[in-house]
């Protein structure tokens, strides 16, 4: 699948050398559609009539998530399923589907819509890992190699844009198909393709990842060199102020490496090679509320399955910074923590930002005594 326009091809390959040096894949075609007017589809979208409809009634907000998706419609390969992804300025519809497979397969979800509707393929965990995510369009195909067992698919409005059930832009049709898995490019193979992750564990497989030429300083060399191959990218946005830890210590089958950056091509915040038992990596970095870090995870010559773990080390709540122990209230325990760290430079306990834990910070704690705001 390509764009038969040399100027457009050159533009895409300048942004994404993978498209010309290795293979022009589906993501390259999507990039061409965004970057080049000549490569955008001009045909009118015809949304097929579905064979079956979603389980939910349009316009009724259902409290569904990965723990409560009892009304998920079972996908049957070859059958078309229809639905309506309505939205308001504060809420949006999320439709859940699921498919059960006896063996690992390449799952493809084709979607037809005239609206801003997206589809995502999720694993069977809770919270889930996004295996693949598709853009809106008519038609678009989202693919992922999925394991045997249950795989979930969600369809939802991308925007909070007051799209009613009577609006044709709320309508969509999807169709699932399966085929043997072949090596495919990671969706988060580059920094600008990074997938968002939260505190907790995220499973990934970097076997088919390519290697990005992003710098590492010599300070990251612990004796084994600076090789960093088969890398995948993630973003983490802090919902607390302080120090966080990222590691690959659990379920590791190869020598891994971690680097954390402030942005794509930005400052290096932390790096690690062999910091925990085996060949796992572990790094700590400091974040302010709302800041986003770019986490790069790779190996030394190879890739493989990893479990990426992110945990708070020493943090303060964004809406209650004096609650150092995250108890839900500011009390004598927080005073004790402040006194125990008196004279230390900076950190989460430096509430007034003067560079030192001191009497000024103690005063803020005393003025904040009581329950934290919701």
* pLDDT tens-place values along the chain, 374 residues long: 344 567 777 777 776 666 666 556 555 665 565 556 555 544 567 888 888 887 666 756 655 566 665 568 899 999 999 988 888 878 888 888 999 999 888 899 998 888 878 888 888 887 777 777 775 556 678 888 888 899 999 988 877 778 888 888 888 999 999 988 765 668 898 899 999 998 888 988 887 787 777 778 888 887 666 778 788 999 999 888 889 999 998 866 777 899 999 999 899 999 998 778 767 899 999 998 889 999 999 887 677 888 899 988 888 777 778 877 767 788 888 888 889 888 988 777 888 888 888 999 888 888 888 888 77
State the Cα–Cα distance between residues 368 and 366, nearest whole angstrom. 5
| DSSP reduced 3-state for 361 | helix
Distances (CA, A) of 72 to 89, 125, 140, 156, 259: 25, 15, 22, 13, 38
Residue 11 dihedral angles phi and psi, to the nearest 5°: -65, -45
Q: 151 is written with which tokens?
A: 């795989």
Name all domains of the chain by residue range, CATH numbers in brackets.
6-39 (no CATH), 52-179 (2.60.120.380), 191-315 (2.60.120.380), 319-371 (1.10.1330.10)
State the Cα–Cα distance between residues 360 and 373, nearest whole angstrom. 22
State the Cα–Cα distance between residues 123 and 202, nearest whole angstrom. 11
Q: 43 is written with which tokens?
A: 């045909």
Tokens 């505190």 label which residue?
199
- Structure pTM? 0.46
User: Looking at residue 295, what is its pLDDT?
Assistant: 97
User: Looking at residue 1, what is its pLDDT?
Assistant: 38
Q: Is the Cα dihedral 35, 37, 43, 46 positive or negative?
A: positive
State the Cα–Cα distance between residues 313 and 276, nearest whole angstrom. 16
């Amino acid at each position: 699948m390509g764009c038969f326009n040399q100027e457009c091809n050159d533009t895409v390959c300048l942004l994404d050398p993978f498209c010309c040096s290795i293979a022009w894949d589906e993501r390259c075609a999507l990039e061409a559609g965004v970057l080049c007017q000549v490569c955008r589809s001009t045909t009118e979208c015809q949304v097929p009539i579905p064979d079956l409809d979603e389980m939910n009634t349009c316009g009724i907000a259902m409290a569904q998530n990965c723990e409560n998706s009892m009304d998920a419609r079972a996908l049957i390969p070859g059958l078309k399923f229809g639905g309506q992804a309505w939205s308001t300025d504060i809420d949006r519809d999320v439709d859940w589907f699921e498919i059960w497979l006896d063996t690992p397969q390449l799952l493809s979800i084709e979607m037809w819509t005239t609206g801003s509707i997206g589809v995502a393929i999720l694993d069977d965990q809770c919270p889930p890992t996004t295996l693949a995510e598709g853009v809106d369009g008519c038609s678009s195909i989202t693919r992922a190699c999925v394991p045997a067992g249950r795989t979930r698919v969600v369809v939802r409005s991308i925007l909070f844009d007051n799209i009613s059930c009577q609006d044709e832009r709320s309508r969509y049709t999807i169709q699932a198909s399966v085929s043997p898995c072949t090596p495919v490019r990671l969706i988060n193979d580059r920094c600008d393709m990074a997938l968002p992750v939260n505190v907790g564990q995220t499973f990934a497989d970097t076997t088919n990842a390519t290697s990005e030429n992003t710098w590492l300083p010599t300070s990251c060399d612990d004796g084994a060199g600076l090789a960093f191959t088969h890398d995948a990218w993630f973003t983490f946005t802090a919902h607390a102020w302080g120090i966080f830890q990222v590691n690959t210590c659990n379920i590791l089958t190869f020598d891994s490496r971690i680097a954390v950056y402030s942005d794509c091509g930005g400052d290096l915040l932390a790096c690690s090679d062999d910091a925990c038992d085996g060949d796992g990596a572990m790094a700590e970095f400091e974040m302010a509320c709302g800041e986003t870090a770019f986490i790069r995870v790779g190996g030394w010559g190879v890739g493989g399955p990893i479990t990426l773990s992110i945990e708070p080390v020493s943090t303060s709540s964004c809406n209650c910074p004096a609650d150092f122990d995250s108890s839900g209230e500011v009390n004598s325990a927080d005073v004790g923590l402040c006194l125990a760290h008196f004279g230390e430079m900076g950190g989460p306990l430096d509430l007034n930002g003067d560079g030192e834990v001191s009497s000024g910070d103690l005063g803020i704690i005393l003025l904040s005594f009581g329950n934290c705001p919701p």
